[in-house]
Chain A
Amino acid sequence: MQQSPVIVVNTSKQRESGHKAQMSNIAAGKTVADVVRTCLGPRAMLKMLLDPMGGITLTNDGFAILRECEVAHPAAKSMIELSRTQDDEVGDGTTSVIILAGEMLAISAPFLERKIHPVIILRGFQKALEDAQVILRSIAKRVDTNDREQMLSLIKSAIGTKFVSRWNDLMCNLALTAVQTVVRRSDDSEFISADISASNKASGSAAADADLANKPATSGDATADAAASVAAGASAVSAPTATGAAVTSIEASASSAPDVDVREVDIKRFVRIEKVPGGEIEESRVLDGVMINKDVVHPKMRRHIENPRIILLDCPLEYKKGESQTNIEISREGDWSRVLEIEEEQVKAMCDKITALKPDLVITEKGVSDLAQHYLVKHNITALRRMRKTDNNRIARATGAKIVTSVDELKEQDVGTGCGLFSIEKIGDEYFTFLTKCKEPKACTILLRGPGKDTLNEIDRNLQDAMCVARNVLFNPYLCPGGGATEMALSVQLAQRAKSDIPGVEQWPYAGVAEALEVIPRTLIQNGGGNAMRVLTELRAKHANGLTTWGVDGEKGVPADMNEYGVWEPLAVKLQTIKTAIDSASLLLRVDDIVSGTSKKQ
C-alpha cells in the first residue's frame, strides 16, 4: 500500500512530549527561580531592568523583577503568575515563593528519573503540605497588635531585606501609622470567609483548613472590638496554651451576634503614596489627612483655612448643554443675548445653592468655569477642580464630607467639617493641597521625599510590602520566626515524619519537600556570604533538638536565635508561600506534553 504523509494537526505547532516535556518544565522553573535568587535576605542585591521603552526599574522585589521579564516558556509564565498571586493575596514573600516553587520542581527531577510516577510524587507533596501547615501553626506565636514596639520590629524584619533598610525605623513607622489610620470596623457586612467556613462545617467536609485560617482573623477582630477585648484577653490569659479553644469560643460568641464588627483594611483604596522627588528621605511622613497634587483654580482664593467647611461635588460648575442635539434658530434680536443670559443664570443658580451652605472649600471632580470662579471668589470660597474620583473618595473619608452628584441635592449634612487645616504649599516646583489635622482620618496620604524618581519608586514598592505585612498581622496576629528558621523547622520535622509516618514510595517526595524547604536558609546563607554546608548542618542539629527559633543571621551568614535576632514574619505569608509553591509544582509536574503554537522560526 502506498504511504503518503497525513497532516493531522497544524504543522506550525511545536510539540514536546513525555520525559522531555517534564524536564523542560523543570528547567524553566529553575531558571526563573535563579533570576531572583540573589534578591532574598538582608544582603540582597538589586536588579536593574530596562524595559523596551527605555525606562529603568531598580528593584529587588521578586514580583517587580519578574513582571518586567518577558518569558516565552509556558511553565516560566506560570511561575511568574505565582508571585503575582502572592502579591495580591499577602503582598509579601514574592521572592521566596518563586525560589521555593523552583526548588520543588528541581527536587522532583531525580524522582522522575527514577521513574516514580508524577501522581505518586504529588500525593507525597500533598501530604507534606498538610503536615507542614500543622507544624507551622505549632511553631507560630501570637502577637499583641496593640503593642507598637512589637509591630514595628515585625515590619522591620519584613522590609529589612529591602533597599530602604537604611531608613528602616522611619519606613516602619510610616507603614504602621498608615495602616492603623485606615483600619476600620465595617458596619453591617460580614466577611464571606466566615460565612463559608460555617457552611463548610455544616456540610461536614474537611474544612479544618479554612476554619483555622479564619479563627485567628476573627479573634483578631474580636480583640480590636472594645467590648470583646476584655473577654478575649481574659480567655487568652486563662488558657494561654489552649489558644485554639479560646479562639473557638470567641468565634462562637461572635457568630451568635449577627452583626459582628469586622475589620477592614483597604490599603489600595485609602492609603495613597505621593512621591515628590527632592528633599531628604527623612522628610517623608504620614499625613493625618490627605494631600493632592492640585492648586486652587483662582489666584485670589484663600490658600490657608483653619477648620474649613468642605463640600465635595461630582458635577461640573459650568453651563452644561443638554444631551439631545438642539439647534436654536434665532429670529428676534434679543434672543441671542437671552441665550447667553440663560447660561449665566444657570451658573449663578448653581453657585447660589453652594454659597447658601457657607462652605470654605468646594472640591469637584469636574470643571469649574470662569464665571463660577468669579461667584465663588466673591463669597470667599476656595475651589479645586478636576479632582480624581479616588482622591475625592479619600477626602470624603478623611473629612467626613459626602460626595454630592448634583448641587440641587446639597444638604447641610453633606458638608464635611472633620478637617482641621486646609493649606497649599509649594514643594519643589509644584503646588500641593494639604487637608490635614483631620479629627478622624480614615484615609491618609504618605508623603515620600527622596533624591530620585527611581529611588522613590523602589521605596514605594517596599512601603507597599511593609503595609501588607502590617495588615496581615492585624488580621492574623500570629508570627513565625524569620531568617529561614521556619523553613528549617519544617524541613527537619518533615524529614523525621517521612521516616516514621509515611509508608511506601510517597516517602521519597515527602522527604523531598523537606529537602526543598532548606533552599530558603541556604540561599540566605549564600547571599550573606556564609558557608552553606556548615551553617546548615549546625542549624539542622539545633532544630533536631527542638530549638525551632534558630535561623540564619542573613547579614553574617551564621546561625542565630530569632528570639534575639528579632526577625519574625507573619504566619499568613508563610502559609501562603508554601501552599502556592506546592500547588504550582503540582500543576507543572502533571504535564507530560507541551504543544505550542509559536511558529517555527528558522
Chain B
Amino acid sequence: MSGIFSTNNQDSALFIGGSRVSGQEVRAQNVMAALSIANVIKTSLGPVGLDKMLVDDVGDVTISNDGATILQLLEVEHPAGKILVKLAQQQDTEVGDGTTSVVIIAAELLRRANELIKNHIHPATVITGYRLACKEACKFIADQMALKVDKLGRDPLVSVAMTTISSKILGTYGTFFADMAVDSLSAVKTTDFRGKARYPVNAVNILKAKGASARESSYFTGYALYRPFTSPAMKRSLKNPKILVIDFDITKTRMKMGVNIVIDNPDELEAIRKREMDISSERARMILDAGVTAVFSTRGIDDVYVKMFAEAGAITVTRVPKEDARRIAKGTGASLITTLANLDGDESIDVSSLGSAELVEQVRLSDDDIVVIRGAKEQRASTVILRGANDYMLDEMERSFHDSLCAVKRVLESGAVVPGGGSVETALDVYLESFATTLGSREQLAIVEFANALLAIPKQLSVNAAKDSIELIAKLRAYHSAAQKATANSSHSALKNYGLDLYEGKLRDNVKAGVLEPAMSKIKMLKSATEAAINILRIDDMIKLLPEKQEEDPHAHM
C-alpha cells in the first residue's frame, strides 16, 4: 500500500522529490484523518464522558477531558488533521468551551460532504449549502432558542458553569466549583470605556497547591503571587501600601562589560568601590523618600538594600514573574518602571507611577509563603486556590475551572443561554430539514446533510452514557418537530427546551433541569466547525515535499 507514495514520485509531473495525491483520493484521506481525530476525543463528550491519559516523550503525564488539550498532545501529523486541531484550539481561546463538540461536528460535516461528492455533487455546491445552512442555524439559535437572562440572577450562571464542568473532573463535586466560578468571576467585574460590563477571565488568578482534597479548594478576593517577601525581617502585612513595580535590579552597580576605568591615584579605587554601593543605596533612598512602602521587582535586590527597605518598614518582593508584575501594575494603577532616569538625565520617581491597594500581606499556603494584594485600586482581582491529590489532578482541575470561567463570562457578557443536552442540535436538525424543502436547488441536499450532521452530538452523548441513542433521538426529534409546528400559545411550544437526561436515559426540559450553555458558544461553534469543514472540502490536491535528506554523518555509528 505504501508503494503508492513512492511510485507517485516518478509519475509526478512536478520534477521535485515528493508525492502528490489528488481528486477523490485526497478528499477521502482528509475525511478519514478528520474522522480519526474525532474518534479519539468523542468519548470525552458530555457529563458521562471519560478522560484521556497522555504521556509525552519524557514520560510526563497529562490527564484531560478537554478536546483542545488532548489534541494538542497527540502530535497530529496529517495536514487535514492539523486543521481540526487548530480548530479546537481556536475554540478554546475564543470561547473556552465546546472544544470537543466543534471537532465532532466538523468531522461529521466532512464525512457527509464526502458522501455527497461521491454522488457527483460538486464540492462548491456542498460548500454553498453548508454556508447557507450555517447562516440559517445561527439565526435560528439567536431568534428561537436563546433565552435572555437579562435580570441575571445567580441561578442561570451557576447552571451554565455547572453544565461546563459536569463533563470534567470537577463535575463530581456538585455545584461547589460552579458556585466558586461564578463568585470569583463576579468579583472581578469592571466596566470598559463604553460603559459595558467586562469580566476579564485572567483577572481570576488560579493557584494550585498539592494536598488536602478538591473540596477544600477556596477562593478569596485579592491578587496572590507565588513568591514570599524577600526578607523574613519584614512586616507580615502592610495596610494601604504605596506600590512601586520595577523592572531593574537594585544591586551594586557595575560598569558594562568591556568598560575599563583607568585611574592614577590608588585612593580613587576606593572611591569607585564606594560609589558602586552608593548609586544603588541612593536609588533605594529615593524610592523610600517618595513614600513607597511596597516594591515589586522582576529582578533582584541585594541583601544590603533589602535591609534598608525592611528597616524603613517597607516590604519588597523580588523575582516576580514579568506577567505577574504587569498585572500587579495594571491592577494597582502603578506603571512598570524600567529605569529611574528622567529626561533631564537625573534620576527621579514620578509619584503618579505609584499604585495603591488596601492591604499587602504574606500568608501561608500549604508549605509555601505567598503574597496577597487585596483591594487594588484599579482592578479587583480574585484568586482561586485549587487543592488536589497530585499535580496531574491539579492541572486538569485548572483547565476545567478555566473552561467554566469562560462559559460564565460569555453568559455575563452576551446575556443569552440555550438549553444543553443535545436540545439545540436536535431543534436545528428539525428546523433545517424543513428549511431545506423550501429550496428547489442542489443545495437542498447539502443542507439536509448539514442538519443530520448536527445529530452527531446528541447521538454521541447518549452513546457515551450507554443509552439507546436511536430511540432517544427519534423521540427528541418528534418533540422538537411538535414544538416548531406549534402555535405560540400551544402547550407544545414548551417542548423546544427538551433535551437528554443522560443519567436516567430519558428526555426532560433542560431549562428547568438547569443544563444551560452560553448561546454565543453554540453559535461560534457552528460557525467555526462549518468554516473548518469547508476549508478541508476545498482541497482537491495535496503535494507533499520530501524532507531534504540530511548529509550522512560519516562518524555516526549505525
Mark A residues whose CB is within 8 Å of B: 1-10, 13, 18, 21, 25, 72, 74-75, 77-78, 81-82, 84-85, 88-89, 115, 117-119, 122-123, 125-126, 129, 186-192, 195-197, 199-200, 203-207, 209-210, 213, 264, 268, 314, 320-331, 335, 338-339, 342, 346, 393, 402, 404-406, 409, 576, 579-580, 582-584, 586-587, 590-598
Contact = CB atoms under 8 A, between A and B. Distances in A.
A323 B254 contact: yes
Nearest to B219: A199
Contact of A5 (B1, B76, B169, B372): B1
A205 B176 contact: yes
B77 A9 contact: yes
B65 interface: yes
B191 interface: no
Given A88-B211, A591-B52, A592-B51, A324 B73 contact: no
Counting chain A CB atoms within 10 Å of each CB, the highest count among B33, B173, B269 belongs to B269
Contacts, number: 281
Contact of A13 (B74, B364, B392): B74
B540 interface: no
Interface stretch (B21-29, B97-105, B449-457): B21-29
B81 A9 contact: yes
B5 to A, nearest CB: 8
Contacts of A335: 265-266
Contacts of B179: 203-205
B269 A326 contact: yes
Given A4-B1, A88-B210, A199-B220, A187 B236 contact: yes
Contacts of A342: 266-267, 269-270
B180 interface: yes
Interface in B55-91: 55-57, 59, 61, 63, 65, 73-78, 81
Nearest to A205: B179
24 contacts: A6-B78, A9-B40, A9-B81, A18-B43, A78-B390, A78-B392, A119-B47, A189-B361, A196-B218, A205-B183, A206-B176, A264-B364, A314-B303, A324-B254, A324-B276, A326-B269, A328-B269, A342-B266, A409-B307, A576-B211, A579-B212, A583-B388, A587-B51, A597-B54
Contacts of A264: 364
Contacts of A204: 179
A143 B266 CA distance: 71
Interface residues on B, range: 35 or more
A245 B210 CA distance: 31
A398 B388 CA distance: 36
B48 interface: yes
A592 B75 contact: no
Given A192-B365, A322-B272, A328-B263, A592 B219 contact: no
Nearest to A71: B59
A328 B266 contact: yes
Contact of B261 (A189, A210, A327): A327
B50 interface: yes
Contacts of B370: 192
A579 B36 CA distance: 38
Contacts of B367: 88, 268
A208 to B, nearest CB: 9
Contacts of A213: 212, 216
A185 B219 CA distance: 26
B236 A597 contact: no
A594 B59 CA distance: 12
B214 A583 contact: yes
A123 B172 contact: yes
A82 B29 contact: no
Counting chain B CB atoms within 10 Å of each CB, the highest count among A25, A192, A209 belongs to A192
B1 A591 contact: no
B43 to A, nearest CB: 6
A499 to B, nearest CB: 22
B32 A324 contact: no
A192 B363 contact: yes
B43 A405 contact: no
Contact of A583 (B59, B171, B213, B307): B213
B119 interface: no
Nearest to B5: A4
A545 to B, nearest CB: 31
A85 to B, nearest CB: 5
A329 B236 contact: no
B61 A77 contact: yes
A591 B260 contact: no
Contacts of B16: none
Contacts of B212: 89, 213, 576, 579
Contacts of B74: 9-10, 13, 595
Contact of A325 (B61, B236, B261): B261
Given A1-B28, A74-B61, A595-B74, A587 B392 contact: yes
B283 interface: no
Contact of A339 (B1, B180, B269): B269
A405 B388 contact: no
A326 B260 contact: yes
Q: Give me the 6 closest cross-chain CB pairs, A-B, nearest first.
A: A323-B254, A81-B390, A89-B211, A579-B213, A596-B55, A189-B236
B261 A81 contact: no
Contact of A126 (B33, B173, B273): B173
Contacts of B478: none
Contacts of A21: 53
A145 to B, nearest CB: 20
Nearest to B232: A393
B392 A81 contact: yes
A104 to B, nearest CB: 12
Contact of B216 (A81, A119, A209, A314): A209
Contacts of A330: 266
A207 B213 contact: no
A199 B218 CA distance: 9
Contacts of B254: 322-324
A338 B266 contact: yes
A339 B266 contact: yes
Contact of B264 (A10, A331, A587): A331
B411 to A, nearest CB: 19
